[in-house]
Amino acid sequence: MKKVTLIFILLVAIATFANAQATRTWVSGVGDDVNPCSRTAPCKTFAGAISKTASPGIINCLDPGGFGAVTITKSITIDCTGTMGSALSSGVQGVVVNALTTDKIVLRGIDINGAGTTLGTNGVSISQAGSVTIDHCNIANYSNAGVRTVNTSNAINVFITNTNIVNVNTQGVQANSVAPGTSSIFIDNSRITGAINGVDVAGSSNYASASNSVIEKNTGAGFQVEQTSSSGALESSTIIGNATGVQAGVAANTPTIRISRCIITQNTNAVGGSGTTKCFGNNVVDGNTGASNSCSSTGNAQQ
């Protein structure tokens, strides 16, 4: 009888917890995580709200505030459109995504910032998910990468749109998936500046593209693909003021980068690497100061 009673209590507790999760929850600068995260009784942090939000659900920012770092383990949207919502993460990662391989995560209108006595480590670090969308966000002041993928299984799609990534100490955006994991990163209408490499496709069998974007003032390459099995594409973008504008291949690897309708200027070298840059005739490549001032160099092909 006691065993039956215990099972009944556990089932009631589980049902109560499930029912407590709402499809939409709210955070506020004057909220409290003991609240149910409703609009009239909002939570204080993203971490507090996520446990009370059903999957798939939405966390909205009710008013300006710093809502802390968060680890995401399920399909969810965090949307601070219309107010100044931030994830301040001095000394730690801003947003960690470690969800199911079918989960879809959206980060919208968030200031993800690692400023502090000790810089945050990574802005957005993606270990596992189906897809991650980063839209109208600002990511700044991290000791490592602005956005990176580090998955070791399944294929992840990452969409970065209308986003600024500035002043990070390694890579602005890095595809660093390890086989059998792969990642495809699609960047549109965004700006990446103040990193070592603006976009770095570091792992094997990965892909990145940038369209309608500005990649500038990075101390290494503006756009780089490292390994032979990976590839990249640039369209209608400006690559300006980097050490190398576009780098196809490192350490004798031979990946391919396709470039169309881009401006590549004021870099030390326009292109470099041991791979192939397929530069179509609608690009403007001029004003680069080093030995490479065109889309054609050793190992590269201009079309």
- 296 located within any domain: yes
Alpha carbons 164 and 182: distance in angstroms, whole number:
24
> What is the tally of structural domains in the chain?
1
C-alpha 77 chain-centroid distance: 15
- 1-5, 74-78, 270-274: lowest mean pLDDT where? 1-5
Which pair of tokens denotes residue 175? 């595809």
- 42 located within any domain: no
Q: Is the pLDDT of residue 11 over 50?
A: no
- 157 located within any domain: yes
Q: Is the pLDDT of residue 5 over 90?
A: no
Which pair of tokens denotes residue 199? 């976009």
- 8 located within any domain: no
Q: Is the pLDDT of residue 217 over 60?
A: yes
- 81 located within any domain: yes
- Name the residue with tokens 């409290």: 32
In this prediction the pTM is: 0.91
- Position 20 scores a pLDDT of 66
Helix (H) or strand (E) holding 235: strand 231-235
Q: Where are the beta strands (DSSP E) in 150-196?
A: 155-161, 164-168, 171-175, 182-188, 191-193
For the four alpha carbons of 164, 229, 181 and 219, in that order, the dihedral sign comes to negative
Q: Is the pLDDT of residue 1 over 60?
A: no
| CATH number of residue 110's parent domain | 2.160.20
- Position 301 scores a pLDDT of 47
Q: Is the pLDDT of residue 14 over 80?
A: no
- Position 209 scores a pLDDT of 98
Alpha carbons 3 and 7: distance in angstroms, whole number:
6
CA 13 vs CA 16, 25, 35: distances in Å: 5, 21, 18
Q: Is the pLDDT of residue 18 over 70?
A: no
Across 154-167, average pLDDT: 98
Q: Which domain holds residue 213?
A: 55-302
Helix (H) or strand (E) holding 302: strand 301-302
* Beta pairing partners, 301: 278
- 9 located within any domain: no
- 3 located within any domain: no
pLDDT tens digits for 223-242? 999 999 999 999 999 999 99
Alpha carbons 227 and 250: distance in angstroms, whole number:
7
